């Protein structure tokens, strides 16, 4: 029975270890996916910004080469609007980077919590084992005391019988 219980505990321990490994791998994959998503967003925003700068430069070149093609108010407003969009995207990128940093911190905190829970579980199991061992030790002490008393009384009777002879 004790062997089956011990095997069950070992299997439970193996399953818990595998589960923790899977959870850690999952956290790493989530972090990696978020990092890739943020990098894609950053690259996309930078490409859009570069395209906007190229368009503005081409427009300025055309404007300087032909004075009659000066930008209209609508075009100036559109350029300013595009610049504002680029600035907003830069702000979003910064916020996403901050979010990624905080998620990395959360992963570390979760790992620490798992370790603490694992240690607490081990402590509980060890307390149970200690309690069982103390009870078994007390039982063995009582048994040995009874055996000692029995041997002592048998020895006294044997000695008395020898003395009588």
Query: Domain spans of the chain?
Result: 2-118
100 CB-near residues (< 8 Å, 6+ apart): 31, 34, 35, 38
Q: What is the pLDDT of residue 103?
A: 78
Q: Tell whether the torsion through CA atoms of 85, 91, 97 and 102 is positive or negative.
A: negative
Q: How confident is the model at residue 143 (pLDDT cuts 50, 70, 90)?
A: very high
Dist CA 41 CA 47 (whole Å): 10
Q: What is the pLDDT of residue 152?
A: 86
* This prediction's pTM: 0.36
Angle of CA points 86, 89, 93, to nearest 5°: 140
Q: What is the pLDDT of residue 40?
A: 87
Tokens representing 22 are 């899977």
Q: What is the pLDDT of residue 67?
A: 52
Instruction: State the residue for tokens 């969009």.
Output: 85
Distances from the Cα of 38 to the Cα of 83, 85, 132, angstroms: 21, 18, 55
If one compares 94 and 1, the residue with the highest pLDDT of the two is 94
Q: What is the pLDDT of residue 59?
A: 64
Q: What is the pLDDT of residue 17?
A: 92
Q: What is the pLDDT of residue 5?
A: 79
49-63, 77-91, 116-130, 138-152: least confidently modelled range? 49-63
């Amino acid at each position: 029975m004790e062997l089956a219980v011990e095997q069950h505990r070992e299997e439970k321990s193996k399953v818990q270890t595998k589960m923790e490994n899977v959870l850690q791998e999952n956290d790493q994959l989530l972090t990696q996916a978020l990092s890739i998503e943020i990098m894609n967003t950053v690259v996309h925003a930078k490409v859009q910004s570069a395209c906007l700068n190229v368009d503005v430069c081409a427009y300025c070149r055309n404007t300087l080469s032909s004075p009659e093609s000066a930008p209209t108010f609508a075009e100036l407003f559109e350029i300013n609007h595009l610049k504002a969009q680029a600035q907003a995207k830069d702000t979003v990128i910064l916020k996403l980077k901050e979010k990624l940093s905080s998620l990395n911190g959360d992963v570390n905190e979760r790992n620490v919590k798992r370790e603490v829970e694992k240690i607490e579980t081990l402590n509980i199991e060890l307390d149970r084992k200690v309690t069982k061992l103390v009870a078994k030790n007390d039982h063995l002490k009582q048994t040995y005391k009874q055996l000692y008393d029995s041997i002592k009384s048998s020895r006294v009777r044997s000695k008395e019988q020898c003395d009588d002879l």
